[in-house]
């Protein structure tokens, strides 16, 4: 999580510098940040993200994703936890079946 300035261009620059720092650190520790598997998402209202720019990581452009998985939880760009609600509903249904 990174809190960014209000201006979109400044936020993209800040995130780009942060990603580059992570990529350099990983390289120094014999690790590789794979741009093909790297996802990022804007937590903005849908009306504010009509033309979201992409980030550049190691010369490759990474477009924002509609969702991201973090520790098994799916987050969407509106930060709604629909996945978690569905899992909780199925869990309660299974508990109800066991209770009977």
Q: Which residues contact 53 (CB under 8 A, 6 or more apart)?
A: 8, 9, 12
Phi, psi of 21 (to 5 degrees): -65, -40
Residue 13 burial class via C-beta count within 10 angstroms: exposed 0-12, middle 13-18, buried 19 and up: middle
DSSP 3-state of 67: strand
Q: Kindly report the pTM of this predicted structure.
A: 0.59
Return the structure tokens found at 46.
């849908």
Q: Is the separation of the CB atoms in 55 and 61 below 8 Å?
A: yes
- pLDDT of 27 reads 93
Domain ranges of the chain: 8-99
pLDDT tens by residue, the chain, 100 residues: 666 667 777 888 888 888 889 989 999 999 998 888 887 777 766 666 566 777 888 788 887 777 777 777 777 776 666 666 677 777 877 887 887 7
- pLDDT of 83 reads 62
- pLDDT of 84 reads 65
């Amino acid at each position: 999580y990174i809190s960014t300035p209000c201006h979109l261009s400044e936020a993209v620059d800040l995130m780009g510098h942060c990603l580059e720092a992570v990529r350099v650190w990983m390289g120094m520790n014999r690790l590789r940040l794979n741009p093909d598997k790297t996802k990022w998402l804007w937590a903005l209202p849908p009306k504010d993200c009509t033309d979201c720019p992409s980030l550049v990581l190691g010369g490759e452009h990474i477009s924002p994703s509609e969702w991201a998985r973090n520790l098994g939880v799916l987050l969407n760009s509106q930060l709604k936890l629909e996945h978690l609600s569905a899992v909780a509903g199925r869990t309660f249904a299974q508990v109800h079946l066991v209770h009977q």
